[in-house]
Amino acid sequence: MAFLPPWASALVGCISVSLAGAFSFSDLYPPLWNKSPGQFSDYSVENGKYVIDPWVYPERMGMYKILVNKTASYFERFSPDNGQNLLWGLPLQYGWQYTTGRLVDPSQRTDCGYESGDRLRVSVDSWWADMNYFLCALPFLAAVDSGIMGMSSDQVMLLPPPKDQTKFCLNISSCQSSFPKTMSKWNILYKYLQSPSSSFDDLMKYLWDAHISALKDAYKIFEDRLEYYSKPEADFGRDWCVTLDYLAAAHFPTTFFKVTEFQKGLPPRVLVDSDRAPFISNFTNLQNTVLLGLNLLHQVDDSTGKGLNTLKKPIILFLKPYYHSYI
Ligand SMILES: *[C@@H]1O[C@H](CO)[C@@H](O)[C@H](O)[C@H]1NC(C)=O
Ligand SMILES: *[C@@H]1O[C@H](CO)[C@@H](O)[C@H](O)[C@H]1NC(C)=O
Ligand SMILES: *[C@@H]1O[C@H](CO)[C@@H](O)[C@H](O)[C@H]1NC(C)=O
């Protein structure tokens, strides 16, 4: 990889590390997967509508579970067990946020999310939870709108968070009017998914397009939430967003095993002030290297105005053979 700077090879190397292991699916499901709603009828009903509270961990997970289930048939021809469903990346990331303590109230004004408090509650003050809302409610509602959920828009209702309600859209029409570009990108993905000639590579492209668009919408709204965190954690959040741009450009396949492997390199807990990658004593080498790599990637991206373009290319070139060999 002579054409990549060393830190970039380290980063990309980490991404492709230890892909081999053969795991069983169910061992690796996100936390509480089996306890989360798996069909609309598992939710409560009010005035003829299914009521979903995305601020309760398993209820939000259930939205993903239904999404992954309802899109399974379209991914069948890539693998029969739904492992190649590109929407797996979303619940897996959300599960990682839960496991690593990123859905708790970082301001500590409430006991939301804490082991000693309301463990299953998702805090509206969590930057990660708010970013994730845009990667859950929008894809979910767009899927309802596109018809693949077998449900009409007036049959589902999302509950608002306890505060800052106006920052979150709750139904198809309000999401479409507040975030028209992003909603239309998710719709494009679902339309393309339903066409019998859809290719895996194009599906990845449309998925990342929609994903990045949702992330950008949310980033602008919730940037101030990063102030609740230590500097290393806030930096990591920002680095992560920049990195996603690169993963998107490389069409990183967000399939079940790829994302599961990838997440092993991400910080297993919220970072504290004294954390300095690559010297965090209770992180694995992989986690230390990835954290350092993401930070360097962000710095290079910032310092070279056109860094994204000059660096995207080698990273894409390097990633391509890696992910193609695993599809
Ligand atoms: C989808 O959910 C239904 C109902 O829970 C279940 O019977 C079916 O096996 C699921 N399909 C997949 C591919 O997970
Ligand atoms: C959609 O949500 C908005 C608030 O986010 C609300 O004002 C509107 O009445 C809702 N529309 C429907 C059809 O429920
Ligand atoms: C890991 O390191 C952090 C920061 O030094 C510390 O707060 C935490 O207790 C450590 N965790 C374990 C399991 O050793």
| Chain segment 79-90, per-residue pLDDT in tens | 889 999 999 999
Is residue 25 over pLDDT 90? no
Q: Which of 204, 228, 252 is the last residue of a domain?
A: 228
In contact, 129 and 228? CB cutoff 8 Å: no
Q: What is the pLDDT of residue 315?
A: 54
258 and 114 housed in the same domain? no
Ligand nearest, relative to CA of residue 41? 1
What are the tens digits of pLDDT across the range 87-109? Answer: 999 999 999 999 999 999 999 99
Q: Which of 201, 228, 255 is the last residue of a domain?
A: 228
Q: Which helix (H) or strand (E) holds 52?
A: strand 49-52
In contact, 218 and 130? CB cutoff 8 Å: yes
Q: Please indicate, yes or no, whether the overall pTM of this predicted structure exceeds 0.85.
A: yes
- Average of per-residue pLDDT across 49-64: 98
In contact, 61 and 29? CB cutoff 8 Å: no
257 and 205 housed in the same domain? no
14 and 72 housed in the same domain? no
74 and 203 housed in the same domain? yes
Helices (H), the chain: 6-15, 57-70, 72-75, 89-99, 127-134, 137-146, 172-178, 180-193, 200-222, 231-249, 256-263, 285-303, 307-324
223 and 288 housed in the same domain? no
179 and 96 housed in the same domain? yes
The count of C-alpha atoms lying within 13 angstroms of the C-alpha of 86, restricted to the half-sphere facing its C-beta, is 26
Is residue 174 over pLDDT 90? yes
What's the number of domains the chain is made of? Answer: 2
249 and 148 housed in the same domain? no
Q: For atom 14 of ligand 2, which residue has the closest CA?
A: 171
175 and 52 housed in the same domain? yes
Ligand 3: which atom is nearest the Cα of residue 272?
A: 4
Residue 12 confidence class, pLDDT cut points 50, 70, 90: low
Q: How far is the CA of 271 from the centre of ligand 3 (A)?
A: 10
Q: Which of 181, 205, 228 is the last residue of a domain?
A: 228
60 and 172 housed in the same domain? yes
The range of the structural domain enclosing residue 172 comes to 31-228
